[in-house]
């Protein structure tokens, strides 16, 4: 009922008081208005784009995940080693 009243108000208010863009926006049905406010167009487009993605097989996914984990461990160890070395160096230089 509120929607019909709002629609009537928009139709019977002079265009110069509302503005053409706002008037067009208010005349959308509530479902499309909500969709525009929430951004369902973006979500729909993203879902359509996912259809073009070539997904890896289970074996490829497991192999790539293992490679990422190994790389992360090696890189984390390297950063820890450099941090430990710089800590010892600065303690010797600054705390002498």
pLDDT at residue 16, as a whole number: 47
Q: How far from the centroid of its chain's Cα atoms is residue 96's Cα?
A: 50
pLDDT, tens only, 19-78: 555 555 555 565 555 555 666 677 778 888 888 989 899 999 999 999 999 999 999 999
Residue 62 makes CB contacts below 8 A (sequence gap 6+) with none
Q: Which has the higher per-residue pLDDT, 54 or 96?
A: 54
Using CB atoms within 10 A of its CB, is residue 4 exposed (0-12), middle (13-18) or buried (19+)?
Answer: exposed
pLDDT at residue 78, as a whole number: 98
Q: Which has the higher per-residue pLDDT, 31 or 96?
A: 96
pTM: 0.47
CA-to-CA dists, residue 74 to 62, 77, 78, 87, 89, angstroms: 18, 5, 6, 20, 23
pLDDT at residue 10, as a whole number: 52
């Amino acid at each position: 009922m509120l929607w019909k009243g709002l629609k009537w108000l928009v139709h019977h208010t002079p265009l110069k008081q509302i503005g053409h863009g706002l008037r067009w926006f208010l005349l959308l049905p509530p479902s499309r208005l909500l969709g525009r406010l929430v951004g369902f167009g973006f979500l729909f487009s993203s879902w359509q784009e996912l259809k073009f993605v070539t997904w890896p097989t289970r074996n490829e996914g497991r192999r790539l995940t293992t490679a990422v984990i190994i790389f992360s461990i090696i890189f984390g160890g390297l950063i820890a080693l450099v941090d430990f070395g710089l800590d010892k160096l600065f303690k010797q230089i600054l705390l002498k």
